[in-house]
Amino acid sequence: ESAFGDIKYNMKYDRFILRGKEKVYIEYGILSMAHNLRKVYCQQSGCWKEYYVQRASKKGKKA
């Protein structure tokens, strides 16, 4: 479920562009691939650290 929330919130994606079950499956598959590629990129480049530090500071916690 965190992948759905991440796609909706961080990728600002709240509705499908295409119509029809088959087309929606394809569209969501592309979104899932983009999500996974972003995760791999962030893990390799270290940008995920900046994200979690920023996120913790918004909540008032120290990272």
At 52, give phi and psi (nearest 5°).
-70, -30
Residue pLDDT, tens place only, 14-58: 788 889 999 989 998 998 898 888 888 888 887 777 766 766 776
Extents of the domains making up the chain: 2-58
Instruction: Say if residue 62's pLDDT is above 60.
Output: no
| Residue 51, both tokens | 């994200």
Residue 26 has what pLDDT? 93
Instruction: Say if residue 10's pLDDT is above 90.
Output: no
What's the pTM? 0.61
Residue 55 has what pLDDT? 66
Residue type, 20: G
